[in-house]
Amino acid sequence: MLSFFRVNAPYQILSFIVVLMILQVPLYISSPDLLIPELQWMLVGEKMSQGFMLYRDVWDNLSPLSAAVYWGMDELFGRSPLAHRTVANILILFQAIYFNYISSERQLFTERNYVPGVLYILFLNVSFDCSTLSPALMGTTFILLAFGTLIRQMQREGVTDEVFEMGFYLSVATLFYLPMGLFALWTFASMLLYTGATFRRHTLAFFGYIFPLALLLLFYFFRNALDDLSQNLLTSAFRTRRYNFNDFIGVLGVLGGVFLIAGLGFFQTLSYPRFINYQTRIHQIMMLWTITAVISIGLMPFIAPMQFCVFIPPLVMFSVNFFMLMKRRWMAEVLFFSLFVILFFFRYQSTFLDNAFSINESTRLENLKIQPSLLPEQIRQQKILVIGEDEGEYKDNFPATAYLNWELARYDFDNLDSYESVISIFDNFQADPPTYVIDKEKLLPVLFKRLPELGELYQPTQWKGIYQRKSSNLSK
Is residue 308 within 8 Å of 252, Cβ to Cβ? no
Provide the pairing of β-strand 383-387 with 398-399.
Answer: parallel
- CA pair distance 84, 27, nearest whole angstrom: 12
Residue 375 lies in a domain: no
Q: What one-character DSSP code corresponds to residue 385?
A: E
Residues 425 and 281 in one domain: no
Helix axes 81-105, 36-49, angle to 10 degrees: 100
Residues 210 and 93 in one domain: yes
Residues 420 and 461 in one domain: yes
Q: Which helix (H) or strand (E) holds 218?
A: helix 199-222
Residues 266 and 153 in one domain: yes
Closest C-alpha among 149, 130, 66 to residue 92: 130
Choose the final residue of a domain: 311, 332, 352.
352
Q: Quick one: pLDDT at residue 352? A: 63
What is the domain count for the chain?
2
Helix axes 135-153, 312-324, angle to 10 degrees: 60
Residues 206 and 303 in one domain: yes
Q: Where are the beta strands (DSSP E) in 235-328?
A: none
- The residues with which 398 forms a beta bridge, in sequence order, are 383
- CA pair distance 13, 64, nearest whole angstrom: 33
Is residue 473 within 8 Å of 463, Cβ to Cβ? no
Closest C-alpha among 140, 130, 201 to residue 170: 140
Maximum CA pair distance of the chain?
Answer: 81
Choose the final residue of a domain: 352, 368, 397.
352
Q: Quick one: pLDDT at residue 240? A: 62
Tell me the C-alpha to C-alpha distance, in Å, between residue 241 and each of 55, 237, 407, 461: 20, 9, 11, 35
Residue 73 lies in a domain: yes
Choose the final residue of a domain: 352, 375, 395.
352
Residue 221 lies in a domain: yes
Residues 399 and 266 in one domain: no
- CA pair distance 452, 450, nearest whole angstrom: 6
Is residue 24 within 8 Å of 89, Cβ to Cβ? yes
Residues 6+ apart with CB under 8 A from 225: 53, 55, 56
Q: Quick one: pLDDT at residue 194? A: 86
Q: Residue 430: which domain range?
A: 383-473
Residue 376 lies in a domain: no
- CA pair distance 332, 399, nearest whole angstrom: 52
- Residue 413 CA, chain-centre distance (Å), reads 28
Residues 35 and 164 in one domain: yes
Residues 347 and 401 in one domain: no
Helix axes 312-324, 277-296, angle to 10 degrees: 140
Q: Quick one: pLDDT at residue 475? A: 46
Residues 120 and 266 in one domain: yes
Residue 445 lies in a domain: yes
Residue 23 lies in a domain: yes
Q: Quick one: pLDDT at residue 463? A: 92
Q: Looking at this protein, which amino acid is placed at residue 434?
A: P
Is residue 116 within 8 Å of 316, Cβ to Cβ? yes
This prediction has a pTM of 0.92
State residue 415 phi and psi, 5-degree precision: -130, 55
What average pLDDT values come out for the chain (476 residues) when binned by 10 residues?
A: 83 92 86 86 95 94 96 94 94 97 90 94 91 95 95 70 90 96 94 84 92 96 93 80 78 89 94 89 95 93 92 96 89 92 82 57 70 83 92 90 92 92 94 93 92 92 92 54
Residues 418 and 341 in one domain: no
Residues 332 and 400 in one domain: no
In the β-sheet with 398-399, what is the strand arrangement from edge to edge? 398-399, 383-387, 436-439, 466-469, 458-460
Is residue 386 within 8 Å of 438, Cβ to Cβ? yes
How many Å from the N-terminal Cα to the C-terminal Cα in the chain?
A: 67
Closest C-alpha among 148, 168, 178 to residue 214: 168
Q: Quick one: pLDDT at residue 357? A: 55
CA dihedral angle for residue 15, residue 18, residue 21, residue 26, rounded to 10 degrees:
-120
Residues 105 and 217 in one domain: yes
Residue 370 lies in a domain: no
Q: Which helix (H) or strand (E) holds 153?
A: helix 135-153
Residue 377 lies in a domain: no
